[in-house]
């Protein structure tokens, strides 16, 4: 019986069968339904729109306008939220791209000037989106500073060019000035003192006013500039010990507060000579000189960041939180392989606040075992920079790099060694950068032209030190003001010639 031979399909028949399935009746019906569905959806939306218009014509005009305003405000808030998230993502991507380019040795091309300027204005656009009224203009008078033709900055400060228009948002400097003008003096002897939205600024204004008042009262007393700076440093230390005790370790190990002595001298006596003595990173910008703003902003060591804080956060009721976030974001860039054992060099940064906490915790343990050598250095129980050197010399067998990140921050000796290697005790704020996460939190403060954002890997411990909050000072009260007045008289009496 002959066997049946299976027929082999002709070449291309399978592809034709597949095409018939795709172009079959069911598929054609499905494709035909899609335009009709879209048409019905548009028709339903049109009918809904006409029904809403019919209801609105029956409603009073005032109610209709109010409804439109509410809807417009909601859309603006949504657009602002999207804009802020987009800026945060853009900053993160730029930092990632820069870090990758640096690791690969690729030269970064400069942005076109127009694009860079537009990116720099993105933060101002965020505030403009909220502006319901028209743009405001600052009318603060520029201070007269004579005899400054030899300095480039002084030439810029003396230019009487009109200030640019800023948004009259409720957090801007014009509203801060209104806030200060409405506040009543809380000290009969010092009428210039008024409570503001910042405890930082209230304390700075208080001890500066005490020094200025005592200098004016004792006009017969001759005080050299160097001696006045000594009195200012004494008052800054008093401020830390009286109202900001949790920051005693920060000032001990970084000296960043005493770095503003020349700035404070200029704020007390705004002369051309005093202005020229201020180091560049703290030298006031034209905006600082021209408008009323919280005093604590002057203590920020980056001019571009100070200007943006003035524009966007002068009247912010949570300004102290913003300033604390700035302090906690201080980092120092370094080759991390010199701190923690790595197979090759790694570009990264270390949190100044976290490292200071590690050093302070280690010194606290040392003081508990050797209390006799520690109590004579400071009334607030904080050691000096000299003690760090002594402690390091006594433990030379611990050397960098550490075997792990946690060991670096948990070992008092290694933490002190890292503190010295990074040069944190030199009060060199010019070496500081800001953690990129800070600009994700406050994208309106980012400036594409200012080189203040750190790049690379964040060297972060896994213990509680990384989450330790950066404290703000207590609110000023009568007791603190009384102590400032007493210490001011003592400080000036000690420096009198």
CA distance 229 to 467: 35
Counted domains in the chain: 2
User: Are 298 and 446 within one domain?
Assistant: no
213, pLDDT greater than 80: yes
**Does residue 64 belong to any structural domain of this protein?**
no
Q: Residues 302, 447: contact at Cβ < 8 Å?
A: no
The token pair at 141 is: 């008078």
216 pLDDT band, cuts 50/70/90, is confident
User: Are 246 and 370 within one domain?
Assistant: no
Average pLDDT, the chain: 75
**Does residue 374 belong to any structural domain of this protein?**
yes
User: Are 294 and 315 within one domain?
Assistant: yes
Q: Report the pLDDT value the prediction gives residue 316, as an integer from 0 to 100.
A: 93
User: Are 265 and 181 within one domain?
Assistant: yes
Structural domain containing residue 420: 332-467
**Does residue 187 belong to any structural domain of this protein?**
yes
pTM: 0.63
User: Residue 331 CA to chain centroid, in angstroms?
Assistant: 12
Q: Report the pLDDT value the prediction gives residue 33, as an integer from 0 to 100.
A: 72
User: Are 422 and 485 within one domain?
Assistant: no
**Does residue 180 belong to any structural domain of this protein?**
yes
Measure Cα distances from 149 to 168, 301, 381 in Å: 34, 24, 47
**Does residue 49 belong to any structural domain of this protein?**
no
**Does residue 73 belong to any structural domain of this protein?**
no
User: Are 345 and 269 within one domain?
Assistant: no
Q: Report the pLDDT value the prediction gives residue 390, as an integer from 0 to 100.
A: 36
**Does residue 59 belong to any structural domain of this protein?**
no
User: Are 202 and 305 within one domain?
Assistant: yes
Q: Report the pLDDT value the prediction gives residue 428, as an integer from 0 to 100.
A: 66
228 pLDDT band, cuts 50/70/90, is confident
Q: Which is higher by pLDDT, 145 or 21? A: 21
Residues β-bridged to residue 136: 166
Q: Percent of the chain beyond pLDDT 70?
A: 69
User: Are 319 and 230 within one domain?
Assistant: yes
User: Are 411 and 307 within one domain?
Assistant: no
* Residue 320: count of CB within 10 angstroms of its CB: 21
User: Are 320 and 418 within one domain?
Assistant: no
User: Are 462 and 478 within one domain?
Assistant: no
User: Are 261 and 350 within one domain?
Assistant: no
**Does residue 131 belong to any structural domain of this protein?**
no
* Residue 35: count of CB within 10 angstroms of its CB: 9
427 closest CA partner among 358, 309, 330 = 330
């Amino acid at each position: 019986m002959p066997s049946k031979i299976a027929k082999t399909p002709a070449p291309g028949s399978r592809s034709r069968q597949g095409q018939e399935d795709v172009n079959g009746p069911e598929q054609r019906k499905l494709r035909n339904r899609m335009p009709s569905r879209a048409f019905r959806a548009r028709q339903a939306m049109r009918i809904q729109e006409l029904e809403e218009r019919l209801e609105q014509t029956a409603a009073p005009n005032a109610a209709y306008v109010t409804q439109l305003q509410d809807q417009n405000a909601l859309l603006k808030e949504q657009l602002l939220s999207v804009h802020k998230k987009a800026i945060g993502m853009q900053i993160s991507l730029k930092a990632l791209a820069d870090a990758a380019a640096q690791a690969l040795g690729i030269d970064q091309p400069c942005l076109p000037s127009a694009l860079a300027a537009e990116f720099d204005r993105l933060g101002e656009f965020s505030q403009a989106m909220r502006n319901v009224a028209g743009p405001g203009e600052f009318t603060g008078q520029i201070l007269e500073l004579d005899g400054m033709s030899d300095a480039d900055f002084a030439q810029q400060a003396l230019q009487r060019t009109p200030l640019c228009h800023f948004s009259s948002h409720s957090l801007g400097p014009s509203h801060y000035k209104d806030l200060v003008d409405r506040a009543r003096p809380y000290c009969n002897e010092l009428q210039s003192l008024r409570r503001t939205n910042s405890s930082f600024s209230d304390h700075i204004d208080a001890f500066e006013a005490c020094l200025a008042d005592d200098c004016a009262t004792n006009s017969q007393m001759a005080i050299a500039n160097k001696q006045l700076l000594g009195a200012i440093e004494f008052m800054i230390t008093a401020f830390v010990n009286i109202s900001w005790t949790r920051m005693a370790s920060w000032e001990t190990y970084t000296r960043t507060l005493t770095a503003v002595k020349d700035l404070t001298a200029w704020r007390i006596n705004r002369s051309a000579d005093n202005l020229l003595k201020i180091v560049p990173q703290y030298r006031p910008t034209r905006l600082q000189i021209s408008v009323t703003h919280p005093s604590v902003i002057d203590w920020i060591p980056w001019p571009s960041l100070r200007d943006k804080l003035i524009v966007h956060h002068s009247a912010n009721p949570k300004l102290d939180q913003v300033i604390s976030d700035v302090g906690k974001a201080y980092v120092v860039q370094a080759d991390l392989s010199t701190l923690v054992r790595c197979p090759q060099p790694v570009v990264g940064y270390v949190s100044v606040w976290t490292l200071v906490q590690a050093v302070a915790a280690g010194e606290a343990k040392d003081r508990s075992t050797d209390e006799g050598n520690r109590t004579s250095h400071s009334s607030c129980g904080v050691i000096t920079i000299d003690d760090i050197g002594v402690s390091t010399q006594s433990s030379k067998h611990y050397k960098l790099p550490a075997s792990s990140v946690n060991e670096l921050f948990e070992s008092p000796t290694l933490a002190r060694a890292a503190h010295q290697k990074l040069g944190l005790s030199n009060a060199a704020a010019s070496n500081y950068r800001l953690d990129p996460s800070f600009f994700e939190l406050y994208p309106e403060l980012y400036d594409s032209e200012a080189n203040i954002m750190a790049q690379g890997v964040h060297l972060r411990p896994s213990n509680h030190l990384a989450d330790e909050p950066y404290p703000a000072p207590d609110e000023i009260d009568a007791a603190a003001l009384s102590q400032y007045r007493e210490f001011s008289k003592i400080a000036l009496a000690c420096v009198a010639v």
